[in-house]
A and B are shown apart, each in its own frame.
Chain A
Amino acid sequence: MPDAIVIRGVRKTFGSKVAVENLDLTIPEGGIYGFIGPNGAGKTTTLRMIMSIYFADRGEIRVLGKKSALESKDRIGYLPEERGLYRKMKVGAFLTYMARLKGVDSAGLAAKVRDWLARVALADCEKRRCQELSKGMQQKVQFLSALIHEPDLIILDEPFSGLDPMNARLMRDLIHGLEGEGKTIIFSTHVMQHAEQICDHIVMINRGRKVLDAPIGEIYARADARTVVVEPLALAADFSRIPGVREAVKSDRNGDYELHLEEGASPAEVMRAVVQATPIRRIELKRPTLEDVFIETVQKAEHVSAESVREALHAEAAGAPGAELGAEARVGVGRA
């Protein structure tokens, strides 16, 4: 199968700030790829370089077998993080315009637009101006503007940011539907749970460098499960005394204990010892979350504390949309 995207040795700087460094990445056709990493990691920059909105300082990017996205734009659907509509334009006219820009023939386009609008329950909005729609409806129109030309490669930058739960589900269904049609989907997110829920393959980026690139199953298989969760029937045992347990933390909420294992301890043996020590209602080996994997990976790669990585990862919550752009703007001006 040919590759949808091939990136070789790409570097991109904004002024003195290195946004992406020495990136190699191959994305085969078909499947859902998740780009994860904290804000400012270089995800948007990478996606923009794939779209030829930015140009790499160094390295090579091939998209759908062509030298750049400029030659295959009509086969790519791109939903930027910073997305909007022409406020005064009518919904149908806007989608028609976007489709025409993407090279869709005008014959039969009106029917196609109506069809897509019906698929997202906006059938009656064709003649309404974009500014008359609710925010959620506008978001749906934005999805359609990226999908109306039925692209083979779909790039979604933070598709879930700012979505209400209903639209988030619609987005997920759309992504799965497109996957079923054999399309290649790349999306970036800083919310690890979203990636966990839908991706086949994960690419982790931190500070402009790729730190992990693997199928999600492999990531879980590789990641050590180092936490045992126990729900005892009664408070009987001191779990921290069990060999191999480094620390036992009681959850305030439901009386669970989280047993963090020592380096090299066997989870199977610890679990056996726990069951022998006290009657329990439930015991499980907790699978690490993607966030845990991310933190561990970055920790190992960059020799920093888990707390600082976690902080970076959650700083996003405070960051308003466009924070990433703002950072770049500041860097650009900073050279003056």
Chain B
Amino acid sequence: MPRTLLVATREFKSTVLTKGFIIGIVLPLVMGGFLLVLMPVFKNLRPPPAKGTVAVIDRSGEVAELLRYELSSERLTELVRKREQRQREQAEQLVGGLVGEQQARGAMESAAPFSDVEGRIPTLTIEPLPTTASPDAEKESLRDKEGGRLAIIEIGANAVRPRADGTYGGYKPYIRSTLDEQNQGTISRGVQRAIAAARLRAENYDPARVEALSEVREEQSVSITRTGERVSIPGVRYIVPIAFILLLMISAFTGGQYLLTTTIEEKSNRVIEVLLSAVSPMELMVGKILGQMGVGLLILLTYSGLGLAGLIAFALLDVLSWMHLVYLLVFFLLAFFMIASLFAAVGSAVTEVHEAQSLIGPVMIVLIIPWLLMPAIVEDPSSTLAVVLSLTPPIAPFVMVQRIAASSDPIPIWQVAGSIAVSAFTAAFTAWAAAKIFRIGVLMFGKPPNLATLLRWVRQA
């Protein structure tokens, strides 16, 4: 076996066959699952329903009674029930489209039974104040710690009937600062509904009838794909680009990080010169990169395998073609070689992990930029910006992967080929520069070099 492969094999085994690695690869999955379970729990965490009075200065004289109705427990309960029913139907249709209606209903029933609506309804008493009352005087009561007054609503004189020029007035709420936003919202929406109802009534319409007429149901939309159809899922077009760039980054970065630590370890163990008696610095570096590429590939395959399993389970496989996966692999290899070379160079130049921090900064920026650009690229994968970025070193592979994943039409082949060429050139260049730094760096102990020194090593070696 060539020496480079011997080095690669040892590097791979010594990284993968450790408890740390196994924990490292499993932990994100466990944490993801944990979040999935916890998210609904967090979502249901709400402040306790408010109890108290809402004072009204009704200068129009037509709203107070309607407000009493709109903020009554019965009315609020009815509205919440209606909303939950609607959300539930949507969710059922969505999941039903994926796994079958019967199963969906059963699943929803057990996963999310109707929540305890009554427990979440605030108990509000309406306290009409004289129309001549001054809010400035009354609002003092909101400062009291005790006293059940939560808010004072001042309804404008023209809130219900328009002024001469046809414009309507509104209302002005004064709210106790300790009242949470949930309950503030409930009160505000109640006031708005009451004023709207008063206006309808003023025009001789029946508010209940109008409400019923304004409700329009939309059935679950259907996405027509090349090979069939499925229910539309909001955000599905973002899934693959996000997944691709995450996969690329996690696998490239994890492998690179391992490379950094093992190189530093070999230096601080003083085993490096023993190795150099048998292999050249170039063989050692390439061997280590290949070994960690294996590690990155293992991570990539593990996670993308899980991702594929997920897509199959939800019958979403059509969002992806096999070519996508081939490209992902190609760009992974290119991106990995580039990042790993940089990590190897940094690792060779320093003696302790903490010394590497300042030198790793620029590498991290390369990793973060494509992430920041993602919304723009995914929104329009064929825009000039996206095309140019996908041909710009060093971010080309990261951007191209997003374009490929996000675009509904295939990316022109010359652009893909161009991006591969640019990425390959970048990878070769970084590997060449890294090899120069590596050769000098591995035997350099003492004060860690700065970026300028590293660049000088590249030039002089």
A51 within 8 A of B: yes
User: In whole angstroms, what is the CA distance A47 to B445 when docked?
Assistant: 18
Chain A contacts of B3 at CB under 8 A? 101
- B10, B274, B447, B450: which has the most chain A beta carbons within 10 Å? B274
Tell whether, in the assembled complex, residue A329 and residue B6 are in contact, meaning their CB atoms are under 8 Å apart: no
Contact A53-B273, Cβ < 8 Å, known A88-B14, A89-B14, A100-B1 = yes
Chain B contacts of A87 at CB under 8 A? 269
Interface hits, A56-77 → B, CB 8 Å: 70, 73, 76-77
Tell whether, in the assembled complex, residue B271 and residue A86 are in contact, meaning their CB atoms are under 8 Å apart: yes
Count residues on chain A whose CB falls below 8 Å from chain B CBs.
37
User: In whole angstroms, what is the CA distance A145 to B278 when docked?
Assistant: 10
A322 within 8 A of B: yes
Contact A100-B6, Cβ < 8 Å, known A89-B14, A332-B453, A336-B456 = yes
A to B CB contacts below 8 Å, 28 in the list: A51-B277, A53-B276, A53-B277, A70-B280, A77-B277, A78-B274, A80-B276, A82-B273, A83-B270, A83-B271, A84-B272, A85-B271, A86-B266, A86-B269, A97-B6, A97-B10, A98-B274, A101-B6, A101-B279, A142-B274, A326-B446, A329-B444, A330-B447, A332-B444, A332-B449, A333-B453, A335-B456, A336-B456
| Contact flags A303-336 to B (C-beta < 8 A → 1, else 0) | 0000000000000000000100110111011011
Contact A78-B277, Cβ < 8 Å, known A86-B14, A332-B440, A332-B453 = yes
User: In whole angstroms, what is the CA distance A97 to B275 when docked?
Assistant: 10
- A52, A86, A89, A98: which has the most chain B beta carbons within 10 Å? A86
Tell whether, in the assembled complex, residue B447 and residue A73 are in contact, meaning their CB atoms are under 8 Å apart: no
B181: min CB distance to chain A, Å: 54
Nearest residue (CB) in A for B268 is: A84
Nearest residue (CB) in B for A321 is: B270
Chain A contacts of B443 at CB under 8 A? 48, 53, 325
Chain B contacts of A51 at CB under 8 A? 276-277
Nearest residue (CB) in B for A52 is: B280
Mostly helix, strand, loop or mixed at chain B's interface? helix
User: In whole angstroms, what is the CA distance A326 to B351 when docked?
Assistant: 12
Chain B interface residues (CB < 8 Å from chain A)? 1, 3, 6-7, 10, 14, 266, 269-281, 440, 443-447, 449-450, 452-453, 456
B419: min CB distance to chain A, Å: 36
Tell whether, in the assembled complex, residue A85 and residue B6 are in contact, meaning their CB atoms are under 8 Å apart: no
- Shortest beta-carbon contacts, A-B, top 8: A84-B270, A78-B277, A329-B446, A80-B273, A101-B278, A84-B269, A84-B271, A326-B446
A6 within 8 A of B: no
Nearest residue (CB) in B for A80 is: B273
A11 within 8 A of B: no
Nearest residue (CB) in B for A142 is: B274
Tell whether, in the assembled complex, residue A83 and residue B273 are in contact, meaning their CB atoms are under 8 Å apart: yes
Tell whether, in the assembled complex, residue B270 and residue A82 are in contact, meaning their CB atoms are under 8 Å apart: yes
User: In whole angstroms, what is the CA distance A333 to B445 when docked?
Assistant: 11
7 new A-B contacts, CB < 8 A, other than A145-B274, A333-B453, are: A86-B271, A89-B14, A97-B10, A322-B445, A329-B446, A333-B447, A336-B453
A146 within 8 A of B: yes
Chain B contacts of A98 at CB under 8 A? 274, 278
A45: min CB distance to chain B, Å: 10
A210 within 8 A of B: no
A335: min CB distance to chain B, Å: 7
Chain B contacts of A329 at CB under 8 A? 444-447
A102 within 8 A of B: yes
User: In whole angstroms, what is the CA distance A235 to B453 when docked?
Assistant: 67
Interface hits, A81-110 → B, CB 8 Å: 82-89, 97-98, 100-102
Chain A contacts of B274 at CB under 8 A? 78-80, 83-85, 98, 142, 145-146
Nearest residue (CB) in A for B281 is: A53
Tell whether, in the assembled complex, residue B277 and residue A76 are in contact, meaning their CB atoms are under 8 Å apart: yes
Nearest residue (CB) in B for A70 is: B280
User: In whole angstroms, what is the CA distance A213 to B276 when docked?
Assistant: 28
Chain A contacts of B270 at CB under 8 A? 80, 82-84
Chain B contacts of A85 at CB under 8 A? 269, 271, 274
Chain A contacts of B14 at CB under 8 A? 86, 88-89
Tell whether, in the assembled complex, residue B269 and residue A101 are in contact, meaning their CB atoms are under 8 Å apart: no
A307: min CB distance to chain B, Å: 29
